[in-house]
Amino acid sequence: SGEGGGPGCRAGLPSPPPLLPPSLQRVLTADFYEGCKINDTEGIRRQGLHPKDVASKLIQIFAEQIFYTGFIHADPHPGNVLVCKGPDGKAKLILLDHGLYEFLHERDREALCKLWRAIVLRDDAGMRTYSKRLGVKAEDYFLFCEILLQRPINMAQLAMSNVLTREETAYMQDMAKNQFDSIMQVLKDLPRSMLLVFRNINTVRGINVALGAPVDRYYIMAKSAVKSWSRTVARKQLGLSRIFLLRWIHTVWASLKFEFALRLQIASMRLTTSLLRFLVFVGFLEETEGQEHIYEYLQA
């Protein structure tokens, strides 16, 4: 994959291109890029860069691979992603080691896009439907969704904090311990390509946490999922009949509604956080056992 380019690389994401003249049948000579590992927060700051910009670009890049191109780098550990300062003075990511890729079929990408959207909007029927399209048994759909997001899902609450609370962490640990056999069966039922998608998502999540979780991973990936779904529909229906045009308009409208729901969710979270911070600041909230949970919410 060359500069900015293979089918799985977002424009502007360099990957050291092969240098053809010195390369032989058994020897591949690549270009050289210098940068720090993506989880090296001190190295990032020494270059005058901000971890938030780095985390946002990382998540956007791999979300586009998963939801749109389907050509997925399945081993994006910190040693395979370098950070340097680009010509614009902002962070530039360099992707290394293209030996482990997986292709996600378009039907699976579509189901995954719609599933992620359904999870974020707490659409229980959609979660059931699109989990089933990915090969998950009906009784395991909710477990699968929590495995996919790697966090508990509260169906009565749209908001999802970017950092797990102690209760949420304990819940996930208990789930892994008490439902191990069910989890393994869910993973066995999935297409092989989905297993490497899980590997990708989990690795990116770990890097975001190492950077201090400066961005909302769920929101960025949800936006990418809906945008990718819309682009896929538009690409397939371009230049076709009026019926397909109406379907495309319907898809765009669904995307706008989803964007509105996400923004409303974020506004609600920010308003609640601001109110709690104000009550803590003016001393209205007294020292109670529940106050510790409030501070934990504000931190998340």
Closest CA to 222 of 139, 143, 159: 159
Rounded Cα gap, residues 245 and 243, in angstroms: 5
**Rounded distance, CA 16 to CA 93, Å?**
11
What is the CB neighbour count within 10 angstroms for residue 294? 15
CB 110 within 8 Å of CB 72: no
Q: Out of 75, 97, 123, 124, which one is annotated catalytic? A: 75
Phi, psi dihedrals of residue 95, rounded to the nearest 5°: -100, 125
Q: Give the separation between CA 299 and CA 194, rounded to whole angstroms.
A: 33
What are the E-state strand segments in 12-148? 36-37, 71-73, 81-85, 91-95, 101-103
Q: Tell me the two tokens of residue 46.
A: 């020494």
With H, G, I as helix, E, B as strand and everything else as coil, classify residue 73: strand
What residues are paired with 91 via a beta bridge?
85
97 is catalytic: no
- In the chain, the DSSP E strands lie at 36-37, 71-73, 81-85, 91-95, 101-103
Give whole-number Cα distances, 287 to 98, 118, 279, 284, 290, in Å. 54, 39, 12, 10, 8
- Catalytic site residues? 75
